[in-house]
Amino acid sequence: MVDNNTVDNNTVDKKKFIVSHAPFWHDGSRISLRNYNIALAALPAILLGIIYYGIPAVGVISLSISSAIIWEFVFCRIAKRSNTIGDGSAAIIGMLFGMLLPAIAPWWLVIIGTFVAVIIGKQIYGGIGANPFNPVVVAIAILMISWKDIFDFNEALMNYDLDFVMVYPLAALKHFGVSAVDSFSMGDLLMGKQSGGIGSTFGLGLIAGGIYLIIRGIIRWEISLSFLAGIIITALIFNLTDPVRYAGPVIHLFAGYTLIGAFFLATEDSSSPVNFIPMLIYGAVAGFMTVLIRNIGVYIDGVIFAILIMNLVSPLLDKIRPKAIGKVA
Amino acid sequence: MREIIKMIVVLTVLSAFSGGLLAAVRGGTMEKIEYQQLVFVKGPAIRNILEGCSNDPIVDRFKIKDGDIERSFFVGVFDGKADTVTFESFGKGFGGDIGLMVGVNINDDKIIGMGVTTHSETPGIGSKAKTDPKFSNQFKGLSAVEPCKVKPDGGEIDAMSGATVTSKGVCVGVTEAGNIYKRLKPQIAEKMKEFK
Amino acid sequence: MAKTITQEFVKGLWDEIPPFRLVLGLCPTLAVTKSVENGLGMGVAVVFVLVCSNMLVSLLRNIIPSKVRIACFIIIIATFVIVVELVMQAYAYPLFLTLGIFIPLIVVNCIVLGRAEAFAYKNGVVRSIVDGFGMGIGFTISLTALGAVREVFGSGTFFGISVFGPSFQPFTFMIEAPGAFVCLGLMLCMMNLAGNK
Amino acid sequence: MGDYVLLAISCILVNNILLAQYLGCCPFLGTSKKMETAVGMGMAVIFVLVMAGAITWLIEAYLLKPFGLEYLRTIAFILVIASLVQFVEMFLKKSIPALYKGLGIFLPLITTNCAVMGVCLININEEYTFIQSLVTSFSYAAGFGLALVLFAGVRERILLARVPKPLEDTAIGLVTAGMLALAFFAFKGMA
Amino acid sequence: MIKRSFIGLSKPRLKYRSLEDTPSLKQIPTSKEVTLLSNCPFDKKKLLFKKKVAVKTGQKLLLYKESDEYVVSSVTGKVSSISSYTGDFGRSYTAIAIEVADDEEIDDEFKSAAGGSKDATLETVKNYLAFAPGNPPVKLLSDKDKPINTIVVCCADSDLLTTTNQYIIKSDIDAIKNGISILKTITGVNDIIMIASQSQMHEVSATGEKVNQVNDTYPSALPHLIMKDILGKVVPAGKSPEDIGVCFISAEAVASIGNAFNSGLIPATKIFTLVKKDGSKSLVSARIGTPASDIFKAFNITLNENDRIIFGGPMTGLSVYSEDHPVQPDTGAIIVQDKDDIPVISDYPCTNCGGCIRVCPANIQINLLVRFLEAGLYEEAADQYDLYSCIECGLCSYVCVSGMPIFQYIKSAKYELGRANTAEATNG
């Protein structure tokens, strides 16, 4: 982007210099760097998923990443736009999408899912930064209401015989009440000893990744923390009113998509607010909605729809903003 | 002034035309509509109750005046004998009235079947009253002249899990059906003779 | 530039096909297209109302005072809507049940009122009938097409007949409300791509 | 009281008139490009729908039903709504000009807003009592307004996005409305 | 260049450079030809003098008829060309090139007009010192429509890397004292506020004036932020400090005024920082109008294709087309950037990461503002998204992950809007 100002005859020089506008410094941050960091942060959770679920998990994750990239490539070709694979955002979408799937997800599901995420969720809105909803969340929500069985982790992962109880804690909670999840200790949950998506069960890994991203300033800590706070407080309130039916915060915090939602999904840049107070509201209400859906809604896990609802509200929330300097009235 | 009169005249004529046309269409289709409604709303329940009957119960129907209300009765012919009758009654459920059809054998006053026709209960919970045969089959063989109750209230019916209100509502409806039956039995018996 | 009768008919099929080109009458379009059959049924009902109301409006266009024309249109349209409602109840009750309140709601369907106001009130009887028929057929085609797409992907059937065989796991999203919106949006996109007017 | 609250929640969120019952799509797409028009339309619908709901209920209960004229419901309701809108418009213009300024341009659009007619018919079909009808009329309208405002918020955002040409405007609006409907699935089973 | 730190949670901390010791000053010998740039648009017909006119050092050259714009020659010689120079957004300037003669003659018009320090008047300052180093804001001080009641003397430098003010505080505090007393007399304003960084506090206090300390993090020394944080007065959006009676003047300009009356000569030497490609900095003194190429020659700097020359600081300066661009009275620094160090500007859209919102000192919703600016909707941007609240610090562009030229968008939007408004006003 060079200014096309004309140069006066007297001052024409043989050498051409780069002329652009201030500032002449940049802090060196790049979209691709951000995305590689997100991938790095997600790595521990994915690795543990692969260790537990083996080759099928590798298949799902790699198919998911590659098909997402291919969809992005195909779209850019068809729409005659410059290729945007390099920024890594399609890869991140594919990776997060794969992390949420059960290891036995069939190939066609992965491909449809990444199509929905990349094309419907992101590209038709004009690509990176313009999507009003988190593409991954949109894709998972659409697939979840279409193919419930595949997302029923209990049924889906029946064939696995690992060294822990293959039970999806939230499903057990929903169907049989709090007593059914007594057997889960916090340590087990943190170590991923529960059934669930490939990359969404290893609590410790996700927390570590999340903290890394927060420290690097890549995700907004306000959203993650207020999301978790919203979950804890709401779960606690429900738990206090009826401890037999409603589980306490521990299960809600470490089971299902909570942690991956807090650190990787709710924090997606373009679908979340950027001002301080809106970020807090966004996270807290998303947490509240999550527990509400889990406890009284029809879905087993509420993270996906809670985030989707808050994505929807986010443009309105962002209208709450500090007064600009010198703004009159 | 002329214009206003014209407007009024046009509107009136149009309305009259519309009213006339509609009344005519209404008159022409009324019978048919009633039959269709019976076939598609109550038909499935009736057929379910009168499973195996040899006639078309929707055609073989009669009406009896019960106070201000006119009630329809559908006759089921088994083995050449018209001795079963089904009719509608209502119970109060969680989300409003529950409409149900009850079939009674007029020889032994026993209920031969019950089916829910209309309801606005919670999908997946109360709505099982209509879809879950385990629940509705419990009513088979009960006496039509005795009140019907769920087990907690001292009756014989197992309430559906999580839908006690709906279960109770259905029982109230069945009891109400028994009352209607008791009240109108003489007339029913009289009419039934025509189908023999 | 006067159009020929054929042109009046054809425009409703492509150039001004509702609801794609004229973004009108979306509610029934979205609501009743869970299956081809419903879409077709709704389309036929609309054709009938559209043709009759266009005919009557154009017949009476010299008598109806312009100040109360909208009221007159509404009376005429509502009359035919009720006729459809009654006839459908009498002869196609299951369809009536699935289409539900969308049959009476034809009365507020912008297409019907729109054609009465924009075309029939200004044109002769034959033209108006042709226009109504064309628009109605166009509407029916749209509904049927949308219904077909949604039914084929959403339930794996076409007119209730299985298309992909038993191993197909239907993309249920398509027959849910969000699917209706997304599907219509994407079809609109296809239309825009196809007809670069 | 609790029943009414549940009914209201159900009408606003779970069975949102627009996103679950597909009623009122035309004004939904038409008036959602700007936040101000969305708010105006939402207010106008709430205003008219509550009145229409009450009046049509009374007409059904005291005019159509006693005389066995239920089959004339469609024509009766549409005429009532059309004249109500006219009347409201005239009344506002004369007595509350400020409100008229805000709602005025939206009022004529409401006649052909099938959400209004639809809710009146739903009230009758579901056999709601008068109070229930009022509650549902208000809540459905509020749900309509809520969806409209949320949609306008999102739409203002995507207005400036680099949307591909064939998808511009209505097409992308419809897809976004689909996402909106998807998000409202969150409330399933809550009332 | 300062890169983002590993821990990205906190805001980027761009520290102002602080001069610990008085560095040595490298004098650049007088060039063969100097160029004086005036903000006045070039208009051949109204020119008051022609080519070949002889000028003396310190001579005031009125440019156009019916205008009081002038430049002050920094050398003795002959005008070799008068031409138009096109700057940012196509604005036109007048460039006067002077061929330097061998012998230097000093013009004495100022000396006779001004007299000594005691005889200083606002009129003299206005008529002779607008082109002095530091660009004393003479117009603002003498504007009758906007009376000034407070004068803020900036002893800290407002952009990164520049150290001119600091150097002058260290080397020439007496000139500043003199300048301040002149300012007080000629304007009648007694409310003088000195703004100094922590390291300067001691030296600046010696002037005996009220001193306020400014934070050492960019952009706290920008006028709008000084107004808000130190003076406690918020400048309304779209206005400047002088609109509410505050006039900002740099220490350099104060020293220029002081020196001018002391010596009877309009100062013509400019002190600035030269930043070489490797980042090493030198303090340079050169005549106003010296072409940059002469300075590069003195420091053995060679420039290659696609490098960049920046006049001013890295955040608010201007990049130029030619090596011959002259040193101007307000040039605080000349920075040479190697082509490999130039950050890439992309046409990627905003990803809504919120980085700019975190750093914006003016609380502007930049993520939305920039969407409107990109689409060219300047009116909406101004009405709804606080375009005019921008204090032009450039931090948003500095942190932008997408590499959007946000700052440029804002400046051009303000320029376009301003032009549209003027057109409207003139058309009625």
Question: Each residue's pLDDT tens digit in chain C (197 positions)?
Answer: 467 888 888 887 777 777 777 777 788 888 888 888 888 888 999 999 999 999 999 998 888 888 788 888 888 999 999 999 888 888 888 888 888 888 888 888 888 888 888 888 888 899 899 989 999 999 999 889 889 988 888 888 888 788 777 778 888 888 888 898 999 888 888 888 887 54
Q: Which residue of A has its CA nearest to E347?
A: A1
Averaged pLDDT, B45-49 = 76
Residues in chain C closer than 8 A to A120 (CB atoms): 182
Domain membership flag for residue A15: no
Secondary structure of residue A146 in the 3-state scheme? helix
pLDDT at D69 over 80: yes
Q: How far apart are CA E199 and CA E216, in angstroms?
A: 9
Name the burial class of residue E298, with classes exposed (0-12), middle (13-18) and buried (19+) by CB atoms within 10 angstroms of its CB.
Answer: middle
pLDDT at E406: 92
- In angstroms, the separation between the Cα of residue D105 and the nearest Cα of chain A is 24
pLDDT at E224 over 70: yes
Q: How far apart are CA E141 and CA E247, in angstroms?
A: 7
Averaged pLDDT, E274-285 = 90
- CB within 8 Å: B36 and C90: yes
Q: Does A142 touch chain C (CB under 8 A)?
A: yes
- In angstroms, the separation between the Cα of residue D64 and the nearest Cα of chain E is 52
Q: Which residue of B has its CA nearest to D126?
A: B120
Domain membership flag for residue E292: yes
Judge if A191 and A142 occupy the same domain.
no
Higher pLDDT, C142 or E89: C142
Of B18, B26, B120, the CB nearest to D71: B26
pLDDT at E7 over 70: no
Residues 293-332 of E with CB under 8 A from A: 303-310, 312, 314-325
Judge if A279 and A190 occupy the same domain.
yes
Q: Which residue of C has its CA nearest to A146?
A: C172
Supply the range of the domain harboring residue A285: 165-317
User: What residues contact A213, with CB distance under 8 A and at least 6 apart?
Assistant: A37, A38, A41, A219, A263, A267
Averaged pLDDT, E198-213 = 88
pLDDT at A92: 94
Q: Which residue of A has its CA nearest to C179?
A: A142
Q: Does D164 touch chain E (CB under 8 A)?
A: no
Of A37-41, A93-97, B101-105, E81-85, the least confident: B101-105
Of B7, B33, B40, the CB nearest to C68: B7
Where does a domain end: E308, E341, E374? E341
- In angstroms, the separation between the Cα of residue C96 and the nearest Cα of chain B is 10
Which amino acid is it at D18? Answer: L
Q: How far apart are CA B171 and CA B150, in angstroms?
A: 7
pLDDT at A228 over 90: yes
Highest averaged pLDDT of the listed ranges B3-12, E5-14, E376-385: E376-385
Averaged pLDDT, A232-254 = 90
Where b means 16+ CB within 10 Å and e means fewer, B144-158 reads beeebbbeeeebebe
Q: Which residues of B touch D (CB under 8 A)?
A: 18-19, 22, 26, 96-97, 120
pLDDT category of residue A309 using cuts at 50, 70 and 90: very high
Q: pLDDT tens, A57-75?
A: 999 999 999 999 999 999 9
Both structure tokens of E168: 């002058």
Both structure tokens of B183: 């009240």
pLDDT at D174 over 60: yes
Q: pLDDT tens, A130-187?
A: 899 999 999 999 998 888 888 888 777 777 777 777 778 888 888 888 887 877 888 8
Percent of chain E with pLDDT over 70: 97
- In angstroms, the separation between the Cα of residue B90 and the nearest Cα of chain D is 14
Does residue C12 contact residue C137 with C-beta atoms inside 8 Å?
Answer: yes
Of A4-18, A55-69, A170-184, B72-86, the least confident: A4-18
Which amino acid is it at A95? Answer: M
pLDDT at E118: 78
Domain membership flag for residue A257: yes
Averaged pLDDT, E92-111 = 88
Residues in chain A closer than 8 A to E339 (CB atoms): 18
Alpha-carbon dihedral D52, D55, D61, D66, rounded to 10 degrees: -110
Percent of chain A with pLDDT over 70: 95
Q: How far is CA E107 from the centre of its chain?
A: 26
Domain membership flag for residue E191: no
The ipTM estimated for the assembled molecules is 0.84
Higher pLDDT, B107 or D136: D136
Q: How many domains does chain A have?
A: 2
- In angstroms, the separation between the Cα of residue B176 and the nearest Cα of chain D is 21
- CB within 8 Å: C178 and A120: no
Does residue B40 contact residue C97 with C-beta atoms inside 8 Å?
Answer: yes
Q: How many domains does chain E have?
A: 2
Q: Which residue of B has its CA nearest to C66?
A: B7
Where does a domain end: E316, E341, E366? E341
Judge if A207 and A99 occupy the same domain.
no
Domain membership flag for residue E361: yes
Averaged pLDDT, D172-184 = 91
Other CB atoms within a 10 A radius of the CB of residue A82 amount to: 9
Domain harbouring E274, CATH code: 3.10.20.90
Averaged pLDDT, D160-184 = 88
* Helical axes E173-187 vs E164-171, angle rounded to 10°: 100
Averaged pLDDT, E179-206 = 89
pLDDT at A8: 43
Highest averaged pLDDT of the listed ranges A71-75, B105-109, E99-103, E125-129: A71-75
Q: How far apart are CA C87 and CA A249, in angstroms?
A: 58
- In angstroms, the separation between the Cα of residue D160 and the nearest Cα of chain E is 6
Q: pLDDT tens, B22-32?
A: 888 888 888 88
Supply the range of the domain harboring residue E416: 355-427
pLDDT at A2 over 60: no
Q: pLDDT tens, E130-139?
A: 899 988 998 8
Of C167-171, D104-108, E41-45, E199-203, the least confident: D104-108
Report whether the peptide linkage leading into residue A23 is cis, meaning its omega lies within 30 degrees of zero.
yes
Q: pLDDT tens, A187-207?
A: 888 888 888 888 888 999 999
Averaged pLDDT, A41-50 = 92
**β-sheet bridge partners, residue E212:** E195
B106 torsion bin: left (phi>0), alpha (psi -120 to 50), beta (else): alpha
Residues in chain D closer than 8 A to A115 (CB atoms): none
pLDDT at B146 over 70: yes
Domain range summary for chain D, segments of one domain joined by +: 2-187
Q: Which residue of C has its CA nearest to B11?
A: C72
Of E303, E304, E357, the CB nearest to A274: E357
pLDDT category of residue D191 using cuts at 50, 70 and 90: low
